[in-house]
Each structure stands twice: as structure tokens, then as C-alpha cells.
Amino acid sequence: MFKRALVSQLAERLAESRRFIQIVTGSRQTGKTTAITQALEISDVPKHFVSGDDPSATSAEWLRNEWQQARALAKSGEAILAVDEVQKIENWSSIVKLLWDEDARLKTQLKVVLTGSSSLLLQKGLGESLKGRFEILYSPHWNYTECKEAFGYSLDDFLFFGGYPGAAPLIKDENRWARYMGTSIVEPTISQDILLMEEVRKPALLRSLFMLGAGYSAQELSFTKLLGQLQDAGNTVTLAHYLDLLGKAGMLIGLQKYSGNKIAVRKSSPRFMVFDTSLMTFSDGTGRRRLLENPKDRGRLVESAVGAYLLARSKEEGFEVYWWRERNDEVDFVIRKGRNLTAIEVKSGRAKNVGGSLVFKSLYPEAFSLIVGSTDLSLEDFLLGTKPLFI
């Protein structure tokens, strides 16, 4: 069975002395449970695995009982407790804090790993109760390297079908694949990871925002113009809030323009970007052949693949992702990590003004430049990670 880098990373942390709770978070259906199972198999200490998907797993008392079972395994040494989908347990962060601190006080060598599909509730719980007690490991959508090695994807396969491992066996049947995307990924993410965990007064508007925004991936669209295309009326503040929720759920984000002026960044119209190209192709509803063979559509798909790749790496590596435009000069992506700055242009095949990175470089001489799709850096090589993102 294929093992992601996440598996060895988690296994290494579980082999260390008890120090932090390990939290694995990421979008739905990206393989968090599989990664934990594989990491636990590597460890030779006793372990106890439970899931918040258990129908009885709704109370703090259930979690306390499972924790007690894991403590029993640690009486003669180290043990591991793994709780999958912990965000489904009521008041999970408070009880985890209490039990973790009890173990620390009694010097119980119980290591703990938690997973959760929704960063929405996880972030809330972590901020409220567990400060200083945890480390986060991200489980992003599968990248091109992983899909190529695990499923034999071609570049075009990856551009259209994206990086959801559960959907990989279905790519020979586009209709079946699309049904899986809708019923197993898109709708559960919205109805369970967002609507059940955040106050959303207009669920239909949120769903419409996702479908329209994902279809506009790699394009700039102001909230005012967006309102004109949505049937359910709202306001720009509501749309911005809903887009933030979709971003935290790992579906759709609005990239802001890069500027040395932080106020200008906040006021700019967003450039929509999906976290995985499959979300764009699903929302578009157009067949693979048309999207890949039409230069304009393929261009947006290519740019979305580059954007999704950067978003996935940004969380783990700690950099920010923007885009930039000044009049007719444009840079597809600008990434910043501390004082390091890189401008990334994508030669995708669709018509647009070129040379934006030269203008950007004149304004920000310290910036490093990359041109994806050039003779020096093909799209495939970029997605395979052969080129450093920063100097």
C-alpha cells in the first residue's frame, strides 16, 4: 500500500518522548485515517484506536472511558491513543485538555494523536483550550507526485481528476466519478464540516458561492459582481464570511493581491482558487475532453493546479500565497515567506498579458522569479517539486 510522507513524519513524532499532542488535520477524504493507521503499524508500543464516527461517541464521558483504556496500556511503559474525527465529540477540546494535563501530572507515558476533517472546529477547539500542548500535521490533497506513483496518473489525469485518493478508481467513468465527488466530498464537506459547525443563515447561498466560485477558479471576481450572478441575494460581508468558511474547509479561497500596503491587500477583489482541481472540474460540469483541449479552459485548469499546489505547500512550509496586478501587468502568484519573495508566472496557453514578472521585479528587486511552462521549468517538473520555491 502506498504511504505518504505524512506517515513517516507522524511515525517519527510518535517515536519521540511524550511532549505534544499530535493533531492531523486536512480536507475530507484526503487519507488522514489511513495515514494514522499506517503510522501506528510502524510503532511497536501498545496502541488504542477509536473513532468519533462511532454512534456512541457523542459525549465527553465516552472519550474519558476510551482514554482510561489507553492509560491501562501505559501502566508498564509507553502507549498511544489515537482518536479519529475528534471534532464530532461534544466539547472535545476541554476534556482532552483535562485528561492530557492529568497524564502530565501523573507522568503517564500516553502519547495522543487526534484527527479531524474540519479545521473550522479544530481551530476553535485548539485556540480555546489546548494552547502550547499540540503540534499540527497537515494532510493536504494528494499532489501530482503521489497520484502518479500510487495510481499511475498522467499529467492530464491529475489536472482533471485532482488529488482525492478515493476517487482514483472511478476515473474511467466520468459520470460515476462526478457522483462520488458530489455525494462523498462536496456535499458532506458543506453540510457536515461547515453547516453543522458554524452559523450559516443562508445555506443555499453558501452552496451557490462554492459552485460559482470554483467554476471561476484562477479568475478575479469582485463580491459586488458575484452578487449579481447569485440567485440568493446577500451582501458582500456575508459572501466574504462564507468564502472564509469554504477556505477553512479546504475547498475554495479568495487570494488577495500582493501589496506592500496591507490595507490595499484587504480592500482588493479576490482571485478565486480551488484547493484541488477536481473541485473546479466538478463544479464546471464539462467533460474532460473539452476542458483539456480548449486552450482557455485548459489554461485556467493549469493555473488552478499550480495554485492548489502552492496552497498545499504553504500550510506545511509557512508561506503566504497572493497574486499581483498593476494596470495591464499581472503575475499569477506571489509567495512570501518572511523576507523571501517569489513571483510565479504560468504559461498556461490562455491569452493574457505577459512580462508581468519583469515589472514586478522592477518594483520588488529582491524577488525571485519562476516561469512555469517555460523551457527551463515545465508544468510537470514544477508539480513534481523539482524546483525550489525560494532562493
pLDDT tens track for 243-289: 999 999 999 999 999 987 665 555 568 899 999 999 999 999 988 99
Neighbours of 137 (CB within 10 A): 20
Query: Is 224 found in the same domain as 290?
Result: yes
Hey, what's the cell of 37? Answer: 493507521
Instruction: Judge if 129 and 173 occupy the same domain.
Output: no
The domain that holds 124 is classified in CATH as 3.40.50.300
Higher pLDDT residue, 234 or 147?
A: 147
**CA distance readout (Å), 269 to 104, 197, 251, 322, 325:** 48, 27, 19, 12, 11
- Tell whether 318 and 211 lie within a shared domain: yes
- What are 145's three cell numbers? 507526485
Supply the pLDDT for residue 353: 62
Question: Where are the alpha helices (H) located in 16-143, listed in sequence order?
Answer: 32-42, 60-73, 92-106, 119-129
Q: Which of 139, 162, 190 is the last residue in one of the domains?
A: 139
Q: Which of 85, 120, 139 is the last residue of a domain?
A: 139
Q: Is residue 388 part of a domain?
A: no
Residues 268, 374 within the same domain:
yes
Task: For residues 303 and 256, state if they share a domain.
Answer: yes
What is the rounded CA–CA span in Å between residue 352 and residue 69? 61
509557512: which residue's cell?
318
What's the chain's average pLDDT?
Answer: 90
Q: Are residues 149 and 130 in the same domain?
A: no
Residue 252 and residue 337 in one domain: yes
Condensed to tens digits (0 to 9), the pLDDT of residues 76-116 reads 899 999 999 888 888 888 899 999 999 999 999 999 999 98
Number of domains in the chain: 2
Does residue 132 sit in helix, strand or coil? coil
Do 121 and 259 fall within a single domain?
Answer: no
Query: pTM to 2 decimals?
Result: 0.92
Residue 60 belongs to a domain: yes
- Is 218's pLDDT higher than 90? yes
* Interval 151-175 mean pLDDT: 97
Query: Both 155 and 130 in a single domain?
Result: no
Contact 383, 346 (CB under 8 A): no
Parallel, antiparallel or unpaired: strands 329-337 and 47-51: unpaired
> Which of 76, 106, 139 finishes a domain?
139
Contacts of 323 (CB under 8 A, 6+ apart): 220, 255, 256, 257, 258, 271, 330, 331, 332, 333, 334
C-alpha cell at 89: 465529540
Q: 217 pLDDT exceeds 70?
A: yes
Question: Do 81 and 185 sit in the same domain of this protein?
Answer: no
Q: List the domain range (segments joined by +) for residue 30.
A: 5-139
Give the model's confidence band at 1: pLDDT under 50 very low, under 70 low, under 90 confident, else very high. Answer: confident
Are 117 and 256 within one domain? no
> How far apart are the C-alpha atoms of 227 and 9, rounded to whole Å?
43
Q: Do 236 and 123 lie in a common domain?
A: no
CB 234 within 8 A of CB 220: no
Q: Supply 5's cell numbers.
A: 510522507
